[in-house]
Chains A and B, each alone.
Chain A
Amino acid sequence: MAPTPHQAKQAKAKLISGGKQPKARVQRYLKTTESQLKEGAKGSLLLKGIRCSDAMSTILKDMRSVQAPHAKLLSKNNMIVPFDDEGQQSLEFLTTKNDASVFALASHNKKRPNNLVMGRTFDRRVLDMVELGILQYRSVGDFPGLPKQRVGSKPLLQFVGDVWSSDINLKRLQNLLIDFYRGDPVDSLILSGLDHVMVFTAAEASIGGVEPSPIIHQRTYYMKLKKDPKGGKSPVPYLTPSGPDMDFKVRRTEFASPDLWKLAMKQPQGVKAKKKKNQTTNIFGETIGRLHLERQDIDSRSGKKSKALRMADKLDKAEAKAALEDELGREEEEMDNEFQQAYGFSKGDM
C-alpha cells in the first residue's frame, strides 16, 4: 500500500513537525516506495476491465504465473476506460497503491473482442499504453503434461522479424514487452538456471488491406539444456512449447510525448561506472594514487584548544578588563580634578 504523493507529503510534514515515527518495518517498506538510485524489478498490476470473458481471465492468470512474484492480479471488474482521462487517473491510483509500474487491462466486448491494454507508468503517471487485439491464445493449461518453467526464473527474450525496428509503434511495443517480461535486472546469473525462452515473431500479413498490419506471435518454450554433440563449451537447447502462446495485433496506441520519454529515460549520475583517474600502476606493479585536495581556508578553521591555551585566553581577557577599568578610573579622577578646579569643591562632597 504505497502512499499517493499527496499522502506521502502530508506524512513527511507530520513527521518533521514532531509527529510519532511509524514502526521500523513500516519505515523500511516506505523507503522502498521512494525513488532509488538503482531500481529493481517492475511490479505489474493485472486488471479486468468493464466486462471480461473467461478466456481473458485465463490470460491474466497466466501472466501472473509467468511474472510471479512481481505480479498482482485483481479479481474484480473495474469501470476503467484506459484511453480516457478518468480511466488513466484510476489506473495511476491503482498502480501507485499496489506498488506496480506496469499494468495489463483485459476486457471483452463486441466492438473490441479479446482486448488487452498493456501499459506502464512513470512517476505515478501513465507513460505508454498499447491496445492489443488477441487473435489466438493458448494458455499454460492447453499444454498438459509438458514441462513448465519454474516460478520466478528469468526468461530469454527473442524478437524475430525486421518489422520490430522499421515500424515506430512496434519499436515502442518491443520496449514495453521487454519491460514487462524481463523480470529482475541482475548483474550476474547462474546459467544453469535458465529454463524458458519467449519469442516474439512479427510478420506482415497483408490481406487485402491497404496498409499491412503486422501480426505478432508470442511463443513461450521450455528449454532443456543439453550437451553439444559437436563438443562445444555452450550447451544446446531443446525447446518444447509450454506456457502462454499469443497471437495478437496492435489496435490503438498512446505513447509518451518525447519530453516525458526523455525524462523517464534519464538515469542518475551515480549509476554510470566511473573511471578511476587518480590511480596509476608503475612498472614495479605498485599502485600509486594521487590525492587532489581542495583549497583549505586555514583562517576560518577552528581547532580544538588545549587547556593551557584556554587558560592563557582567560588571563588575557582578565588583563584587558583590568586595564580597561584602570583607564576608566583614571578618567574619572581627571574629571573629578577638573570639577574641583572649576567649582572649588570636589564631586564627592556634594
Chain B
Amino acid sequence: MARRKATARMSKKKEVEVEEASTSSASVAESEAEEESDTNDHSEEEEASDVQSEEEEEGSDEEVNSSDEESSGEEESDDESPENSDDVNTDSVGQNEQCTFDLGNLLSFNTHQVNAAELYRGGSMKNNLNKEWYELRPPTIEASKASALPNPVNESMLLAKAAEGTTQLLRELWKLPTEKTDLGLLAKLPTAETRLPRMLPPPPPKQLTKWEQFALQRGIAPKGKQSRKVFDEATGEWKHLTGSLDNKANAGPESWPILEVKKNDDPMQDPWEKLREEKKSRVGKNTESRMRNAERAGNLEKGTANRMMKNVKKQEKQKVLMRQKEREMGLVAPVGVPVDMRSGGEKAQRGKPSTQLALKATQTSTASLGRFDKQIEGEPERQLNKNTKKRKLDPSVTGNTNKKYLQTEAQKSQDILSKVMNGSKQKDKDVKKGKYAKGETAYDYDFDDGLGSGSFKKKKGRAGAGKMKKLTKKRIM
C-alpha cells in the first residue's frame, strides 16, 4: 500500500502510466504485483531509497513503474536470507517470475521485462559476485567508453535470474516420464515446440522403376535377401556370387575349357566369343535401362541414355570397320580359326608373313604391351609400338583444372607464339641447313629463283651466314 502512495505523489501522468502498465502487462505480472504489495508492508525503509532512484530515472517510465515491484521484491528477499546465497543461490530469488518452457530443446523463456536500471547500476556493494569471480582476470574484450555498454553490469542480478529459470526448468524436466538405465535416470523428452529450419530440404519420394511398377500391378513379390556366399558345386567351396571367373561361384560355361557344339550352333564360331558378346549385350541393356529409370526419376538429365546408346553404336561400328581394314591391309594377324579353314581364304595370308604378324600380336598382348617381358637368347629385337608414352590430355577434356597444368598450357601457347613472331634457334639451324631454301641461291634463303631447292648448296664461312638481317628486339609477350 505504501508503494502506491509513493507513486501517487508523482505527477498525474505517471499515475496514468502505472495503471496502463499494470493493465497492459501480462496477467502474471499483475498477480505478482498483488503478491508483492503484501510483502511491501514489511520493509518500508528501503522504499525511501527506491523512490529516490525512481525520481532519477525518468527516461524509461514504463519499465521503472511496472518492474519496480519485481525488483523490490527481489531485493527484499535478498536481505531476508543473505546466508543461504552462499550455498544455493536460488533461495535468494523468490519464485516470482514464471517461465515458459520448451522441454524438447531444454529451453526456458522468461518473458518478463528486465529492469535496465537495476542491470546497469554501478558500484553497488551487494555485488559480491563481481569481485569473486568476474575480477579474477580482465575481460578479453574490455567495454570501452565509446561502446554503448553501460558499465558495469550487475552480474548478480543476471545470475539470480538464471538460477531461477534453471530451477523451474529442472523441476519441469524431473516431472517427465523416466526409466532407469545403468548410466542414470533417462528422461523421455517431448517433441520440440520451437521449430527450427532444416539443413536440407526433405528427401523427395522415391520413384518406382519400370519393373517395380509392373511387379506392383501384377502382384509379384520382390526376390528377398540373397545370402552372401553360395556353395560352388565344381570346387566344393563356398564362394561369392560375383567376382572373377576363378573366384565366382557357379561360374558357368565361360570358364569351361571344352564346350559341346549343340544342334543350332554354328561349328565354326568361337563359343567363348559368343558368350562374351552375349554378356556384353546384356550389360549394355542393363545400363541402358538403369539410365532410363534414373531419367524417369529425375536423377539424370533427359536424353543422356539416348546419347549414350548412339555413342556406343557409333563406336562399335567404327571398331568393326577398323578391324576389317586392318585385316585387309595385312597389318593384323588373322583371328580365331586357322587361315586355310576359312571361307574367305583369298585375302588371308599364309606362311612367314602371317606367322610374323601373329608373333608380333602375341608379343604385345601383355599388360605392359611387351615392354618388360623377358626375351629368349638369340631372339631378335622386338618390334614394339614406340608410341607407348602416356598422352597428356587437354584439361578441357579431362575436366582437370590443376593450376600448374593450366599454366604450362598457357606457357606452351606463348612459346609457340614467340617462336612464330621472333624466330627460334631450331628454325635458324634449319634455315642454314637449307630446309627452307626455295631456290639455289646460297645466301638469300627467301628468294625463289625457280631452280628448285634440291640443288641448294650451303656455303661455308661468312657466305654461309647469309645476308646480315636487321636484328629486331625480341618482344616480350
Q: Chain A interface (Cβ within 8 Å of chain B)? A: 12-13, 16-18, 34-37, 39, 42, 55, 58-59, 101, 114, 120-124, 127, 133-139, 141-146, 154-165, 175, 178-179, 182, 185-194, 197, 199, 201-207, 213, 215, 217, 219, 221, 223, 225-226, 229, 232-241, 245, 247, 249, 261, 263-268, 273, 297, 300-302
Other 9 A-B pairs with CB < 8 A, given A35-B200, A205-B150, A229-B88: A12-B299, A136-B149, A178-B194, A190-B184, A199-B158, A219-B159, A239-B162, A247-B149, A266-B202
Contact partner of A188 (CB less than 8 A), chosen from B187, B200, B219, is B187
**Which residues of chain A have C-beta atoms less than 8 A from B136's C-beta?**
142-145
Once the chains bind, are B199 and A101 in contact (CB under 8 Å)?
yes
Asked if B142 is at the interface (CB within 8 A of a chain A CB), the reply is yes
Contact partner of A205 (CB less than 8 A), chosen from B116, B203, B218, is B116
Contact partner of A191 (CB less than 8 A), chosen from B147, B184, B218, is B184
Once the chains bind, are B198 and A34 in contact (CB under 8 Å)?
no
CB distance from A146 to the nearest CB of B (A): 7
Once the chains bind, are A205 and B133 in contact (CB under 8 Å)?
no
CB distance from A283 to the nearest CB of B (A): 27
Once the chains bind, are A219 and B158 in contact (CB under 8 Å)?
yes
Asked if B333 is at the interface (CB within 8 A of a chain A CB), the reply is no
**Which residues of chain B have C-beta atoms less than 8 A from A188's C-beta?**
186-189
- If A158-B169, A188-B187, A302-B218 touch, whether A268 touches B143 (CB-CB below 8 Å) is no
Give the docked Cα–Cα distance between A297 and B200 (Å): 40
In the complex formed, the residue of A with least CB distance to B188 is A188
24 inter-chain pairs at a CB distance below 8 angstroms, sorted by A residue, are A17-B291, A18-B287, A36-B203, A122-B198, A127-B197, A138-B134, A141-B140, A142-B136, A142-B137, A144-B136, A158-B162, A185-B104, A189-B187, A203-B116, A204-B114, A215-B148, A221-B162, A234-B173, A235-B170, A236-B88, A236-B90, A264-B198, A268-B203, A297-B217
Once the chains bind, are B199 and A157 in contact (CB under 8 Å)?
no
Once the chains bind, are B109 and A192 in contact (CB under 8 Å)?
no
Give the docked Cα–Cα distance between A158 and B119 (Å): 17
Which of A18, A127, A301 neighbours the largest number of chain B CB atoms within 10 Å of its CB? A18
Q: Chain B interface (Cβ within 8 Å of chain A)? A: 59-60, 63, 87-90, 99, 104-114, 116, 119-120, 133-134, 136-143, 147-150, 153, 155, 158-159, 161-163, 165-167, 169-171, 173-175, 178, 181, 183-189, 191-192, 194-203, 217-220, 283, 287, 290-291, 294, 299-301, 304, 308
Once the chains bind, are A161 and B110 in contact (CB under 8 Å)?
yes
Give the docked Cα–Cα distance between A138 and B87 (Å): 25
Contact partner of A185 (CB less than 8 A), chosen from B159, B192, B294, is B192
Once the chains bind, are A157 and B106 in contact (CB under 8 Å)?
yes
**Which residues of chain A have C-beta atoms less than 8 A from B167's C-beta?**
234, 236-237
Contact partner of A190 (CB less than 8 A), chosen from B59, B185, B197, B218, is B185
Give the docked Cα–Cα distance between A138 and B110 (Å): 24
Give the docked Cα–Cα distance between A214 and B171 (Å): 30
Once the chains bind, are B166 and A239 in contact (CB under 8 Å)?
yes
Give the docked Cα–Cα distance between A175 and B197 (Å): 9
Give the docked Cα–Cα distance between A13 and B287 (Å): 11
**Which residues of chain A have C-beta atoms less than 8 A from B195's C-beta?**
265, 267
- If A191-B187, A192-B184 touch, whether A135 touches B147 (CB-CB below 8 Å) is yes
In the complex formed, the residue of A with least CB distance to B112 is A162
**Which residues of chain A have C-beta atoms less than 8 A from B105's C-beta?**
157, 178, 182, 185
**Which residues of chain A have C-beta atoms less than 8 A from B218's C-beta?**
300-302
- If A189-B189, A241-B159 touch, whether A135 touches B139 (CB-CB below 8 Å) is no
Once the chains bind, are B158 and A137 in contact (CB under 8 Å)?
no
Give the docked Cα–Cα distance between A197 and B163 (Å): 9
Once the chains bind, are A215 and B149 in contact (CB under 8 Å)?
yes
In order of increasing CB-CB distance, the 10 nearest A-B pairs are A268-B202, A264-B197, A234-B174, A137-B141, A135-B149, A35-B200, A136-B143, A101-B199, A199-B162, A160-B110
Once the chains bind, are A213 and B148 in contact (CB under 8 Å)?
yes
Give the docked Cα–Cα distance between A268 and B87 (Å): 48
CB distance from B50 to the nearest CB of A (A): 19
Once the chains bind, are A207 and B141 in contact (CB under 8 Å)?
no
CB distance from A32 to the nearest CB of B (A): 11
Which of B134, B149, B287 neighbours the largest number of chain A CB atoms within 10 Å of its CB? B149
Give the docked Cα–Cα distance between A233 and B150 (Å): 41
**Which residues of chain A have C-beta atoms less than 8 A from B184's C-beta?**
190-193
- If A17-B304, A138-B134, A190-B186 touch, whether A237 touches B90 (CB-CB below 8 Å) is yes
**Which residues of chain A have C-beta atoms less than 8 A from B287's C-beta?**
16-18
Give the docked Cα–Cα distance between A305 and B104 (Å): 56
Which of A197, A206, A240 neighbours the largest number of chain B CB atoms within 10 Å of its CB? A197
Give the docked Cα–Cα distance between A191 and B188 (Å): 10
Give the docked Cα–Cα distance between A224 and B359 (Å): 86
**Which residues of chain A have C-beta atoms less than 8 A from B203's C-beta?**
34-37, 268
Give the docked Cα–Cα distance between A82 and B429 (Å): 59
CB distance from B260 to the nearest CB of A (A): 27
Once the chains bind, are A267 and B198 in contact (CB under 8 Å)?
yes
- If A190-B184, A191-B173 touch, whether A217 touches B197 (CB-CB below 8 Å) is no
**Which residues of chain A have C-beta atoms less than 8 A from B189's C-beta?**
186-189
In the complex formed, the residue of A with least CB distance to B143 is A136
**Which residues of chain B have C-beta atoms less than 8 A from A156's C-beta?**
106-108, 166, 169
- If A165-B111, A191-B185, A197-B162 touch, whether A138 touches B150 (CB-CB below 8 Å) is no
Give the docked Cα–Cα distance between A349 and B203 (Å): 80
Which of B140, B158, B299 neighbours the largest number of chain A CB atoms within 10 Å of its CB? B140
Give the docked Cα–Cα distance between A247 and B153 (Å): 10
**Which residues of chain A have C-beta atoms less than 8 A from B99's C-beta?**
158
**Which residues of chain B have C-beta atoms less than 8 A from A157's C-beta?**
105-108
**Which residues of chain A have C-beta atoms less than 8 A from B194's C-beta?**
175, 178
